[in-house]
Amino acid sequence: MKKLKVNADACIGCGLCVNMAPEAFTLNDEGKSEAIAEIEDGAADEVIASCPVGAIEE
Ligand code: SF4
């Protein structure tokens, strides 16, 4: 398990990470994703690779 970080300057609020891992990400009031909980390592790798703008970091 690991806690990821979202670069709010890069995030475009597409919601993909929230759909992929709703337990670990939420969209905040500004429409940006925030990491709210730890995520399993394999799922973390997938969501990092899937973000269209590379905004998710370990
Ligand atoms: S997938 Fe990337 S751009 Fe889309 S909401 Fe998540 S962090 Fe933001």
How far does the centroid of ligand 1 lie from the alpha carbon of residue 56, in Å? 7
Q: How far is the CA of 52 from the centre of ligand 1 (A)?
A: 7
Question: How many domains are contained in the chain?
Answer: 1
Q: Is 11 in the pocket of ligand 1 (CB under 6 A)?
A: yes
**47 neighbors 21 (Cβ within 8 angstroms):** yes
Instruction: Classify the phi-psi angles of 10: left when phi > 0, otherwise alpha if psi is within -120 to 50, otherwise beta.
Output: alpha
The structure's pTM equals 0.94
pLDDT digits (tens, 9 = 90+) for 7-48: 999 999 999 999 999 999 999 999 999 999 999 999 999 999
- Which atom of ligand 1 sits closest to the CA of residue 27? 5
Number of the ligand 1 atom closest to the C-alpha atom of 16? 1
Reported confidence tier of residue 53, pLDDT bands at 50, 70, 90: very high
Q: Tell me the residue range of the domain where 18 lies.
A: 5-57
Rounded-to-integer distance, Cα 21 and Cα 56, Å: 13
Q: What is the CATH number for 20?
A: 3.30.70.20
